[in-house]
Amino acid sequence: MEFTIKAGSPEKLKNGCVVVGVYAGGELSAGAQALDKASDGALAAIVARGDLDDKAGATLLLHSLPGIVAPRVLLVSLGKAAELSDKAYRDAVAAAAKQLGGLATDDAAFLLADIDAPRDLPWRLSQAAQILLDSTYRSDTLKSKKDESKKGVKKLAFIVHGKAGDELQAALLRGEAVAEGMALAKNLGNLPGNVCTPGYLATAARKLAKDHKIKVEVLERADMEKLGMGSLLSVARGSHEPPKFIILNYKGGKAKDKPVVLVGKGITFDTGGISLKPGEGMDEMKYDMCGAASVLGTFKAIARMDLPVNVVGLIPTTENMPGGSAIKPGDIVTSMSGQTIEILNTDAEGRLILCDALTYAERYEPAAVVDIATLTGACIIALGNATSGLLANDDELAAELLASGQAAGDKAWQLPLWDEYQDMLKSNFADIPNIGSKGAGTITAACFLSRFTKAYKWAHLDIAGTAWKSGADKGATGRPVPLLTEFLIGRAGGR
């Protein structure tokens, strides 16, 4: 979908469809009022009949409204004007996007962003661009027959008052960039494990670096052995696929500025290893690399915006497979930090690859480190599928990420990382076990990781419940690319 920003009178627009908002109780937005006046009250009369529900996101498509040049008018409910929240606005935009995707017209004019709330116009414009572009995503890469439907809007004009200055153009670019980053993360997440291997992720990283201002380095098994990454390599022992350690370096800020380091879990398929998972639903374990995918997606977004910030991406990636060489419960391995780890459950492998990456991050003297991982089923029990779990050793960093999630519509919720939980990680034979005692699984997993983050400010995002959807709508979501991008925009001195 191609976007433009322009001014214009709604009733005179020649687009195939004009999208305007209506508040609960029949109250018309400014754009709808203009259409109502031109139609001599016909629009208000239609709304008064009650066919448009008051709930934000309800829609009503009108044809050949008198006095209106456009052949179609799409009314979208915004809910109560006094209660127009971020969510209500996004719901309205998402509903409009769904309707526009089924119309037999190539272009549309969009007036939902040009309202009085919530937040400011650049935010509304950015969010709308992201949602509208994301709505066009299709996961048909490996299908023999692609979606060749000719229906759906291809060109969309955002109608605003006044000139489209640099701030609005930047907001439009921001929304497009986030949607493109999400699409990359979705594409990688949706690929099956026999395609998206550690080597495939490395190739994807190299292509991303080639297309943008990013440097990339890929460490092989021998390189990791020299570094002493015994914990990461222990997970890779059961697989025939060679592990990779991908390093991305984006230098958009000043040379002296310390980088933000993003660490993404890249288990391209997780059987659980010797602690084998149940067969039902195991196909979804191809999504266990969505942390890695979100790092690559975020790098695509910030490079697309040419964001003035320094960012390093670290992606430890391997499969977790059973086999004659696979690690066993009771084995003890030595991490890059020198700490020894007793393997009590081989299905708690994500933390084993992350801990060596977190130790590696120290060499960058980072301003902050954020790791992203589909780490624990316990997080889904605690927070469901709407919210990512957040734990951190620095409350200011946690608050920054929480605020970024709110602004991006990609929310997280902070869980405690208190010393009392550290007592649940004890081993008689090693420095630390890879699982804690019963209960608080998400927290004890973060406690494990915190043992490797003493040198810097660190936060952990558990995206087990938010990285993909199951059921009829099965597929990767592209989260938390919006949250991470918003966070980095803030670090760059932006919104």
Q: Is 155 a catalytic residue?
A: no
Return the closest-CA partner of residue 57 out of 16, 103, 15, 21.
21
- Two structure tokens written together for 17: 């469809």
Based on the number of CB atoms within 10 Å of its own CB, is 139 exposed (0-12), middle (13-18) or buried (19 or more)? middle
Return the closest-CA partner of residue 225 out of 215, 236, 217.
236
Q: Is 363 a catalytic residue?
A: no
Q: Determine the distance from the C-alpha atom of residue 127 to the mean position of all C-alpha atoms in its chain, rounded to a whole number.
A: 14
Q: Rounded CA gap, 138 and 147, in Å?
A: 8
Return the closest-CA partner of residue 199 out of 216, 181, 220.
220
Residues ≥6 apart with Cβ < 8 Å to 468? 189, 284, 287, 290, 474, 475, 476, 477
Give the SS3 label for residue 362.
helix
Give the SS3 label for residue 472.
helix
| 365 CB neighbour count, 10 Å cutoff | 11
> Does residue 133 come out as left (phi exceeding 0), alpha (psi in the -120 to 50 range) or beta?
alpha
Considering the candidates 55, 221, 277, 469, report the single residue annotated as catalytic.
277
Considering the candidates 351, 411, 457, 479, report the single residue annotated as catalytic.
351
Q: Rounded CA gap, 485 and 465, in Å?
A: 20
Amino acid identity for residue 216 in this structure = V
Q: Which residues are catalytic?
A: 277, 351
